[in-house]
A = this chain, B = another copy of it.
Amino acid sequence: MAQRINRQFRLRSHPQGRVKSADFDFVATPVAEPEPGQALIQVVYLSIDPTQRIWMSDREQYMPPVAIGEVMRGGAIGRVVASASERWSVGDLVRGQLGWQDFYLAIDGAPALLSRLPKDLPVPLPAMLGACGTTGITAYFGLLELGQPKPGETLVVSAAAGAVGSVVGQIAKIKGCRAVGIAGGPEKCRWLTADLCFDAAVDYKAPGWREALAAATPDSVDINFENVGGEVMAAVMARMKLGARMPLCGLISGYNVEGSAADDFTPILMKRLAIRGFIVTDFLPRWPEAGRELVGWVQDGRIKHRETIVDGLEQAPAALNRLFDGDNLGKLMVKVSEA
């Protein structure tokens, strides 16, 4: 067999503003065969998530940032291609933080959050990374645990045509809520209402979007599932009921911006809002339960999913920028090798 080559994105500098190729060293090195207790996993699908932009910055954050020289962190699905470990067999599909690279070396006993996917996949492989993966699980706990949706309530979700937002709105529908999505552009809005059965979609790039938001939330807002921050968040907060809940999942509008954001806590006080930040790993022990329920909803068609799949590991930095340009529908991932 030909020598395997591992291409890796190693962080060269903490990006300022948009991510540039020059922020990484893209290096290729030969891969040794696994030694006893090791297995070699080839990355198939690499997840591209807004939070990766946080990890590569040196701002204060919820886990250690990626250090200069380190391989860029990223969730992925891969396949075991060589194994000298009793834990892994060649052919196994593995989900976990495999990183922005072709090959991940799994070492028995080393700390890693890897899990084996079932042989008979219950849903298509990309959905195991998206709607039924960390993305869907983020939507699941953020909405159900922090949002506490009740039938008849109105939910608003920003970045609604994104990976998390599209699942949030659909779970809200399952729970009997009115689901209103905010997204950029008519195509995304049409997808939300026509395909995902959101009750309304607001195009924040269109003139009069604030009035459209008001019209879409005639009974005001009980839950704001916040992914974006900035003026869209402020506009939704102005529509929130007294005592409404706001799970805070992301503030993507600020991730490419240096310095502090200019937000306003006043509505929290005036409307007695309950705001809670969360990270999906807060619920780690309950991931299997969420995964099972999400798989069930995808199988019975109550959660529809869509992926934007970019070809080639070398495209990862450019793909990440697409998230901030709003240039993707559903879950964004990079296809690194054949499934």
A: residues with CB less than 8 A from B are 59-62, 229, 233-234, 238, 242-243, 248-251, 254, 260-279, 282
Which residues of B sit under 8 angstroms from A260, Cβ to Cβ? 234, 262, 264, 266
Which residues of B sit under 8 angstroms from A264, Cβ to Cβ? 260-263
Check B277–A62 contact: CB distance below 8 A. no
Which residue on chain B has the smallest CB distance to residue A255? B266
24 contacts between A and B (CB under 8 A): A62-B269, A62-B271, A62-B272, A233-B265, A234-B260, A243-B282, A250-B269, A251-B266, A261-B263, A262-B262, A262-B263, A262-B264, A263-B263, A263-B265, A265-B275, A267-B277, A268-B275, A268-B276, A268-B277, A269-B277, A271-B277, A272-B278, A273-B277, A274-B275
Q: How far is the CA of A271 from the CA of B62 in the complex (A)?
A: 6
A50 smallest CB distance to B (angstroms): 11
Which residues of B sit under 8 angstroms from A276, Cβ to Cβ? 268, 272-275
Q: How far is the CA of A229 from the CA of B267 in the complex (A)?
A: 13
9 tightest CB-CB pairs across the interface, nearest first?
A269-B277, A260-B264, A268-B277, A262-B262, A272-B277, A275-B275, A274-B276, A62-B270, A261-B264
Q: How far is the CA of A249 from the CA of B272 in the complex (A)?
A: 9
A214 smallest CB distance to B (angstroms): 14
Check A254–B266 contact: CB distance below 8 A. yes
Which residues of B sit under 8 angstroms from A61, Cβ to Cβ? 270
Which residue on chain B has the smallest CB distance to residue A61? B270
Which residues of B sit under 8 angstroms from A251, Cβ to Cβ? 265-266, 269
Q: How far is the CA of A170 from the CA of B234 in the complex (A)?
A: 35
Q: How far is the CA of A272 from the CA of B60 in the complex (A)?
A: 13
Q: How far is the CA of A266 from the CA of B275 in the complex (A)?
A: 12
Which residues of B sit under 8 angstroms from A250, Cβ to Cβ? 269
Say whether, besides A271-B277, A273-B276, A265 and B62 are in contact (CB < 8 Å).
no
A64 smallest CB distance to B (angstroms): 12
Which residues of B sit under 8 angstroms from A229, Cβ to Cβ? 265
Which residue on chain B has the smallest CB distance to residue A231? B260
Which residue on chain B has the smallest CB distance to residue A250? B269
Q: How far is the CA of A275 from the CA of B246 in the complex (A)?
A: 10
Q: How far is the CA of A261 from the CA of B237 in the complex (A)?
A: 14
Extra A-B contacts (7), CB below 8 Å, given A233-B265, A272-B282: A234-B260, A248-B269, A260-B262, A261-B264, A262-B262, A263-B265, A268-B276
Which residues of B sit under 8 angstroms from A263, Cβ to Cβ? 261-265
Say whether, besides A60-B238, A275-B275, A275-B276, A266 and B261 are in contact (CB < 8 Å).
yes
